[in-house]
Structure 1
Amino acid sequence: MSTKKLTILAVCIALNTVLSSIIRIEGMAPMSTVFNIIFATFGTFYVTLIALVTAILRMIIFGIPPLALTGAVFGAILAGIGYKLSKSIFGAWFGEFVGTGIIGSIISVPVMKIFMDLDSNAVWFLYTPRFVGATIIGGIIAVVIYSSLKNSRAFKNIQEIFDKEHDHNSTYRKS
């Protein structure tokens, strides 16, 4: 992996860690959604890596519960797949919605039951509305930000750095 790519990933992780922990609504992390959707344009592996490392850092540094993992990682994977299949920010948003809003919220129930003593029926109504709300709020913000970024030379250069390795790996595997 190139130094440029590692540097970009480190900056993305740092931004995501700080902003997702500061700009949040109790029980909701819409900035995590923003980053998952925008970083989905780098590729499924990279958006998932960024989300995973960010979630672990948020849990260690800021004491965020394991919801940081269950919410962000499934959303990142499906946002990356959604973007890859559609080549659209809306495909990434849909993937994030399904991954975080639905799957992540459902997976959070048994995970958080381990950490908290909650009534099993009440728990189902605790996470899904918050996770869905975060993906809607974060998705709107992501689309607005992406609309500004997508034509900027700097963002295009970053995407090219990630695309070049993908193209190189595809060519390498074929030979």
Structure 2
Amino acid sequence: MKSNVKKLAFAGIFVALAVVCSAFYIPIGVSKCFPIQHMVNVLAGVFLGPWYACGMAFVTSLIRVLMGTGSLLAFPGSMIGALLCGLIYQKTRKMPLAVLGEVIGTGLLGALAAYPMATLFMAKEAAVFGFVLPFGISSLGGALISFVILLILERTKALSLLEKSLSTTR
């Protein structure tokens, strides 16, 4: 199996950006909402594909937890959102649907997956749908930021150049 050095480098840059910007968060309920994480998830899903995006989200969450700037709730939300965003973009090549994939993946599916994490591993009392609103707000904000960035890149023709540069098919 041949690794793609460009994709690994981009994933590393996305991880670094998300970790450095993790100082900026919005507290909503028991969760910390990181719109930059969701912005990076969408960008990674579009540029790198679903598996690199999911891996990037995992590494970012792990570093943030180890540094004390994130919680265990970061894992299901960011990883599911990045994966779904990447899968949808891979199948449709439509940016609005990729953004929607991040919001549904993190805001709904990731929020529901966070419930057992909170109750079992963090000893927090939570309602099953208690994370949907904060995760949804956070993912929507970050996804909209990424959508604006992607639109700018598309209008300047940089999006197609980046996608072509990172393509694994030669």
Deviations 1:81-140 (A, max 9, x none): 111122111111111112111111001011111233334xx4335311100111221122
Kindly report which structure 2 residues correspond to 1:104-143, keeping only aligned pairs within 5 A, or say none: 104-119=110-125, 122-143=126-147
Q: Distance in 2 between matches of 1:8 and 1:118?
A: 36
Change (3 A) 1:134 1:60: same
TM-score under structure 1 length normalisation: 0.83
Residue of structure 2 in register with 1:65 after alignment: 71
Identity of aligned residues (%): 27
TM-score, normalised relative to structure 2: 0.85
Distance 1:151 1:73 in 2: 29
- Matching of residue 15 in structure 1 with residue 45 in structure 2: no
Aligned to 1:30: 35
List aligned pairs for 1:78-97, cutoff 5 A. 78-97=84-103
Unaligned runs of 5+ in 1: 169-175
Distance 1:131 1:143, change over 3 A: same
Larger radius of gyration: 1
Structure 2 spans left out of the alignment, 5+ residues: none
